Amino acid sequence: MTGVSLLTEDQNSLVEAIGKIADRFGDDYWRKADETASFPHEYARAIAEGGWLGIAMPENVGGAGLGLTEAALMMERLANSAGAMAAASSIHINIFGLHPVVVFGTEQQQQRFLPPLIAGTERACFGVTEPDAGLDTGRLKTMAVRDGDIYRITGRKIWTSTAQEADRVLIIARTSPVEATPKPTDGLTLFYAPLDRSKVEIRAIHKMGRHAVDSNMLFIDGLEVPVEDRIGEEGQGFRCLLHGLNPERILIAAEAIGVGRQALSRAVTYAKERVVFGRPIGQNQGIQHPLAENWMELEAAWLMVLRAAALYDAGQPCGAEANSAKYLAAEAAFKACERAVMTLGGMGYAAEYGVERLLREVLITRIAPVSPELIKCFIAERVLGLPKSY
């Protein structure tokens, strides 16, 4: 059920190798991490030790220099395991999150920032979303004020995942007031800032699932960032960020497919084994057909993921495909997880079988990093040429 026939021999080997690491961490490990809200350090270390965090990083900083396709294959396989979204999220930002540094960072910045991320000795988080701006990025309010060789950042971020563990935050902040810029997204600047706890209060958000990987409110009060930690030009932060948006969506889509496939395989196993009314429940079409639908929807969405990744790797525009992949994958995966819970009946609701955890986690892929509504707005406007609606 992994669509492997579309892959090269090297890509198949990659999936097999990463799968061996992923499968060392089973249900007990992840259930405990979820119940105790503990970051999966052992897991993240195992991935780092295998050299996998640098899969898509340039070779001159110690990465493997492979493409987004390989990164998507890896993230799909990591999510298609007992770890599901928690596993993928624990290392997600290392894989492509620092892409703006790869594209816009100076040689010196790349040498300084990327090797520790690849080695797993430093962790990063991603601070874009703000409580008062939501999806309207042009309304971001966090300010960065230059004072000689430093900037001072003040404001609030919300949902910043892994901030409890992170050493640095890739953060976007306003360097010119919104009234003074031609477009609301102008005047934003990107920084890879040290997460100095004396200037940033990090408060965990109590959330629905993926408890092993924290998401947080950040209260930032005068965080000092050296000028040499600014990524790209002042006022060009949104443009820098845009470069990473499509890969981010493609990777989240791949992770959603992984979670969906994991749920489907658990449902199928149960449907074969559980006997009610003298036969396996999987012998009933009422059980079979929805699972068959899940398989078809996941496979179709996976083709869109691979297509979007291939376009990206070929340097071609992929906005429509990346957004569609994220939408289709998240919707298909959500349906598969919900169906898995229903297939297991009462046991679907029990933590022991793991599918309720998958259902809680897969919802993240629908909401973030962009909602299904906004994806439809994008397709309507940019692909179909309809008037902008928001």
Ligand X SMILES: Cc1cc2nc3c(=O)[nH]c(=O)nc-3n(C[C@H](O)[C@H](O)[C@H](O)COP(=O)(O)OP(=O)(O)OC[C@H]3O[C@@H](n4cnc5c(N)ncnc54)[C@H](O)[C@@H]3O)c2cc1C
What residues make contact with ligand X under the rule CB under 6 A?
A: 126-129, 134-135, 159-161, 215, 364, 367-371, 373-374, 390
Query: Considering the complex, what minimum distance in angstroms separates the CB of residue 106 from ligand X?
Result: 24
The CA distance from 109 to 100, in Å, is 11
Q: Which is nearer to ligand X, 15 or 172 (CB)?
A: 172
Q: Which is nearer to ligand X, 79 or 271 (CB)?
A: 79
The CA distance from 136 to 128, in Å, is 11
Query: Considering the complex, what minimum distance in angstroms separates the CB of residue 365 from ligand X?
Result: 10
Half-sphere CA count of 195, side-chain side, radius 13 A: 22
Q: Which is nearer to ligand X, 57 or 125 (CB)?
A: 125
Query: Considering the complex, what minimum distance in angstroms separates the CB of residue 32 from ligand X?
Result: 20
Query: Considering the complex, what minimum distance in angstroms separates the CB of residue 105 from ligand X?
Result: 19
Q: Which is nearer to ligand X, 157 or 261 (CB)?
A: 157
Query: Considering the complex, what minimum distance in angstroms separates the CB of residue 361 from ligand X?
Result: 9
- Tell me the backbone φ, ψ of residue 156, rounded to 5 degrees: -135, 145
Q: Which is nearer to ligand X, 277 or 390 (CB)?
A: 390
Tokens linked to 230: 């600014």
Q: Which is nearer to ligand X, 2 or 161 (CB)?
A: 161
The CA distance from 132 to 159, in Å, is 12
Q: What does the radius of gyration of the chain's CA atoms come to, in whole angstroms?
A: 21
Tokens linked to 38: 């503990």
Query: Considering the complex, what minimum distance in angstroms separates the CB of residue 276 from ligand X?
Result: 36
Q: Which is nearer to ligand X, 215 or 246 (CB)?
A: 215
Query: Considering the complex, what minimum distance in angstroms separates the CB of residue 369 from ligand X?
Result: 4
Query: Considering the complex, what minimum distance in angstroms separates the CB of residue 59 from ligand X?
Result: 27
Q: Which is nearer to ligand X, 72 or 213 (CB)?
A: 213
Cα 240 to chain centroid distance, Å, stands at 18
- Among residues 341, 208, 344, 196, the alpha carbon closest in space to that of 276 is found at 344
- Among residues 10, 5, 76, the alpha carbon closest in space to that of 301 is found at 76
The CA distance from 19 to 6, in Å, is 18
- Tell me the backbone φ, ψ of residue 188, rounded to 5 degrees: -105, 140
Strands 215-226 and 200-204, by their bridges, are antiparallel
Q: Which is nearer to ligand X, 81 or 162 (CB)?
A: 162
Query: Considering the complex, what minimum distance in angstroms separates the CB of residue 5 from ligand X?
Result: 34
Strands 150-161 and 143-147, by their bridges, are antiparallel
Q: How far is CA 217 from CA 156, 318, 386, in A?
A: 7, 32, 36
Q: Which residue is nearest to ligand X (CB)?
A: 134
- Among residues 329, 252, 264, the alpha carbon closest in space to that of 293 is found at 264
Tokens linked to 206: 């109590």
- Tell me the backbone φ, ψ of residue 236, rounded to 5 degrees: -105, 15
- The residue type of 204 is A
Q: Which is nearer to ligand X, 64 or 124 (CB)?
A: 124
The CA distance from 288 to 366, in Å, is 25
Query: Considering the complex, what minimum distance in angstroms separates the CB of residue 364 from ligand X?
Result: 4
